[in-house]
């Protein structure tokens, strides 16, 4: 059972995670798991993963509402991507529960570095704001969605840092549209993973609640700032990739003893 200070730290962590989700459409659960383990003090990595999956999913829905109002969401592309990844998230989360928690964090850090490098490589790409679901991009959306869902479930994350580049690669949409659209899949994958962990008793419900409430505040601020920054080509992508590198380095350092 956590104490009052830990729940307050959980609420503050939720503000930060919600802000990041609203700003870059991903990175929320990348931050949520280490914050729960190293700052809040959740003793079990698997409980931290299950709880953060639920909290990030709900915060993603808040962020999604903000991006919908701002007109950033490509609904058809987002729904195809999310639907194709739900089965992958279920399979991945089942496998993840049976894997050592510290090793999960270390392997996750390696994947983060690879994705961050790919994002920086394409940071100047402006994208096509008129993108719609069609014969050319539908198979790519299904493929990227299934693969991202599997990763998302296995590592117990919302998967936004994979979903955003996946949407861009599949459709060529601008970064700001990929960020808004990614939150549909972040919520779907997170809820799928959280439900799987909850069945095994690996969700701290009171901590998830305070985390979600903090995330509502942070998500509103992040979405507003994202609209301002989107005018400068490549800036959001650079922020996104930099966040990935910093957190990946920290997670690799803290979890390296598992190997």
Q: pTM above the 0.85 mark?
A: no
Confidence of residue 78 (pLDDT cuts 50, 70, 90): very high
Residue 1: how many other CB atoms lie within 10 Å: 5
Confidence of residue 204 (pLDDT cuts 50, 70, 90): very high
Report DSSP letters for 4-62, one per residue.
HHHHHHHHHHHHHHHHHHHHHS--HHHHHHHIIIIII--S-HHHHHHHHHHHHHHHHHH
> Which H, E and C letters describe 127-145, residue by residue?
CCCCCCCCCCCHHHHHHHH
Structural domain boundaries, residue 136? 4-258
Is the pLDDT at 23 greater than 70? The verdict is yes
- For the segment 111-121, what is each residue's pLDDT rounded down to a tens digit? 778 777 766 77
Is the pLDDT at 179 greater than 70? The verdict is yes
Is the pLDDT at 186 greater than 80? The verdict is yes
Q: Given this model, what pLDDT does residue 77 score?
A: 94
Give the chain's domain count. 1
Is the pLDDT at 243 greater than 80? The verdict is no
Q: Given this model, what pLDDT does residue 8 score?
A: 94
Does residue 2 or residue 186 have the better pLDDT? 186
């Amino acid at each position: 059972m956590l104490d009052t200070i830990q729940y307050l730290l959980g609420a503050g962590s939720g503000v930060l995670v919600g802000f990041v989700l609203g700003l870059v459409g991903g990175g929320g659960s990348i931050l949520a798991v280490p914050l729960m383990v190293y700052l809040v003090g959740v003793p079990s990595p698997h409980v931290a993963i299950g709880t953060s999956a639920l909290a990030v999913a709900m915060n993603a829905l808040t962020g999604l509402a903000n991006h919908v109002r701002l007109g950033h969401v490509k609904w058809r592309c987002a729904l195809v991507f999310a639907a194709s990844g739900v089965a992958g998230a279920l399979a991945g989360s089942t496998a993840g529960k049976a894997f050592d928690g510290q090793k999960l964090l270390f392997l996750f850090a390696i994947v983060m570095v690879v994705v961050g490098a790919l994002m920086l490589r394409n940071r100047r790409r402006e994208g096509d704001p008129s993108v719609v679901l069609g014969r050319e991009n539908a198979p790519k959306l299904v493929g990227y969605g299934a693969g991202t869902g599997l990763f998302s479930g296995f590592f117990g994350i919302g998967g936004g840092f994979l979903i955003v580049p996946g949407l861009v690669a599949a459709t060529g949409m601008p970064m700001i549209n990929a960020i808004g659209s990614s939150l549909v899949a972040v919520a779907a994958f997170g809820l799928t993973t959280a439900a799987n962990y909850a069945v095994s008793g690996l969700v701290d419900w009171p901590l998830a609640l305070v985390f979600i409430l903090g995330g509502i505040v942070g998500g509103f601020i992040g979405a507003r700032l994202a609209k301002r920054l989107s005018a400068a080509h490549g800036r959001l992508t650079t922020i996104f990739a930099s966040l990935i590198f910093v957190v990946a380095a920290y997670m690799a350092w803290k979890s390296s003893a598992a190997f």
